[in-house]
């Protein structure tokens, strides 16, 4: 085979992977741009491209030197913390009820959980604002918290629920057989196995809250969150510190997700501890017949 023909053949065989590589690059380009710009010594009043003016770590060192930015970030972190706490508790309880129990109105409850996820954010923001206006409720941290918990609940339910579905009930029965009461079983078996799902759901709620702009835009009043601050200054050109901060948040999120994944794998291994299959040292009665 000639060289061009071989190259063509290679290209054809790997076309899918090359395409996938390009798509992934498309996903990562803006993130790279944010990170690169955080090191760019750009003149403050004009947007010139990337590192034309040289490399500097100045903005990483002065990351926390803008008071309004610090306030906004503090508000966002506090908001995300309380949102996560409330939404994770409420949502986990709902997920347990949905998977473990039968009750009247389950279909309707499912619908009520799904529809907020399928509603455009602008509509959620607008409807909440309509209600707050009707009651002349002062907009601020409380209204933000109400809104953030509201849109986070559904996602928490979905994440914890998927974890519960793959749950091996035999482990709980084994604990009960060995004399554990319902509470001990829940604490020593159910909760540790469910923990990765709950942690993943909490991380998602935290991320959703800290990232939300649209719904906050409608219901914040004069309270400024991190995205609202960025929006406010974006019209004049955002300070480079924001890029540094965004990069830092990205790194923290990456590490957090890596840890959850690791933990999840461990939990899966733990859950996979099962009686040896047929031919193992202690075949359970009935397993051979079942096959």
Partner 1 sequence: MSLRRRLAPYWLMGPGLLWLILFFVVPMYFMGEMALRSGTLATGYTFDWAWSNFPDSLSGRGDQIGRTFFYSGTATVLALLIAYPLAYAIAFRAGRFKLLLLFAVIAPFFTTYLIRTIAWKTILSDDSPVVSVLQTLSLTPGDGRVLATSGAVIAGLTYNFLPFMILPLYANLERLDLRLVEAAKDLYSSSRTAFIKVTLPLTMPGIVAGVLLTFIPAFGDYINAQLLGGTGQAMIGNVIQSLYLAQRDYPEAAALSFLMMGLILAIVLVYIRFAGTEAFMGDEVEEET
> What residues numbered 21-80 form the site for partner 1, per CB under 8 A?
23-24, 26-31, 33-34, 37, 47-49
| Shortest Å distance, C-beta 234 to partner 1 | 6
Task: Check binding of 150 to partner 1 (CB under 8 A).
Answer: yes
* Alpha carbon distance 215, 21 (integer Å): 34
Cβ at position 192, least distance to partner 1 in Å = 20
- Residue 226 C-beta: closest distance to partner 1, Å: 7
Q: How far is CA 27 from CA 21, 23, 94, 180, in A?
A: 10, 6, 34, 49
Question: Is residue 216 a contact point for partner 1 (CB under 8 A)?
Answer: no
Which pairs from 182-185 meet CB under 8 Å and 24+ separation? none
Find the shortest distance in angstroms from Cβ 198 to partner 1.
Answer: 14
Alpha helices in the chain (DSSP H): 3-37, 58-61, 67-100, 106-117, 121-134, 141-165, 169-177, 182-185, 191-211, 214-219, 226-234, 240-271, 287-290
Non-local CB neighbours of 207 within 8 Å, separated by 6+ positions = 253
Q: Of these, 234, 266, 270, 278, which contacts partner 1 (CB under 8 A)?
A: 234
**Which residues in the 163-192 window bind partner 1 by CB under 8 A?**
165
Span 245-274, contacts to partner 1 by CB under 8 A: 246, 249-250, 253-254, 257, 261
* Beta-carbon count within 10 A of 97 CB: 15
Using the minimum distance from each CB to partner 1, give the nearer residue, 162 or 263.
162
SS3 279: coil
Total chain residues near partner 1 (CB under 8 A): 87
From the list 73, 194, 199, 230, which residue makes contact with partner 1 (rule: CB under 8 A)? 230
Q: Is 111 in the site for partner 1 (CB under 8 A)?
A: yes
Cα separation, 72 vs 230, in Å, equals 9
Is the separation of the CB atoms in 144 and 220 below 8 Å? Answer: yes
CB of 142: closest distance to partner 1 in angstroms?
12
Rounded CA-CA distance 31/248 in Å is 11
- Select the residue interacting with partner 1 from 8, 10, 19, 81 (CB under 8 A): 19
Cα distance from N-terminal residue to C-terminal residue, the chain: 51
Member of 41, 90, 139, 271 binding partner 1 (CB under 8 A): 90
In the DSSP assignment, the letter for residue 104 is: T
Q: Which of 39, 69, 72, 91 binds partner 1 (CB under 8 A)?
A: 91
Q: Is 214 in the site for partner 1 (CB under 8 A)?
A: yes
Min CB(42)–partner 1 separation in Å: 10
Q: Whose Cβ is closer to partner 1: residue 184's or residue 280's?
A: 184
Distance (Å, whole) CA 124 – CA 128? 6
**Minimum distance of partner 1 from residue 242's CB (angstroms):** 7
Closest CB to partner 1 among 128 and 193?
Answer: 128
Residue 20 binds partner 1, judged by CB under 8 A: yes
Q: CB of residue 288 vs partner 1: minimum separation in angstroms? A: 25
């Amino acid at each position: 085979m000639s060289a061009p023909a071989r190259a063509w053949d290679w290209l054809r065989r790997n076309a899918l992977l090359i395409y996938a590589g390009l798509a992934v690059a498309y996903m990562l380009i803006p993130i790279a741009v944010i990170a690169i710009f955080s090191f760019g010594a750009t003149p403050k009043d004009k947007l010139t491209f990337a590192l034309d003016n040289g490399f500097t770590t100045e903005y990483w060192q002065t990351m926390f030197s803008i008071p309004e930015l610090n306030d906004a970030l503090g508000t966002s972190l506090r908001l995300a913390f309380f949102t996560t706490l409330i939404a994770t508790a409420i949502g986990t309880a709902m997920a347990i009820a949905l998977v473990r129990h039968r009750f009247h109105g389950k279909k309707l409850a499912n619908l009520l959980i799904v529809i907020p996820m399928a509603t455009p954010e602008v509509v959620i923001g607008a409807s909440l604002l309509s209600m707050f206006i009707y009651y002349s409720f002062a907009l601020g941290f409380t209204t933000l918290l109400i809104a953030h918990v509201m849109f986070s609940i559904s996602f928490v339910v979905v994440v914890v629920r998927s974890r519960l579905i793959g749950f091996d009930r035999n482990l709980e029965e084994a604990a009960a057989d060995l004399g554990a009461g319902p509470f001990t079983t829940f604490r020593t078996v159910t909760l540790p196995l469910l923990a990765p799902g709950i942690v993943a759901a909490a991380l998602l709620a935290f991320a959703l809250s800290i990232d939300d702009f649209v719904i906050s835009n409608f219901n914040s009043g004069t309270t400024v969150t991190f995205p609202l601050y960025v929006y406010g200054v974006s019209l004049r050109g955002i300070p480079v510190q924001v890029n540094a901060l965004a990069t830092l948040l990205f790194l923290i999120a990456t590490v957090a997700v890596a840890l959850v994944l690791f933990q999840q794998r461990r939990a899966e291994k733990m859950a996979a501890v099962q009686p040896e299959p047929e031919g193992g040292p202690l075949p359970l009665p009935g397993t051979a017949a079942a096959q």
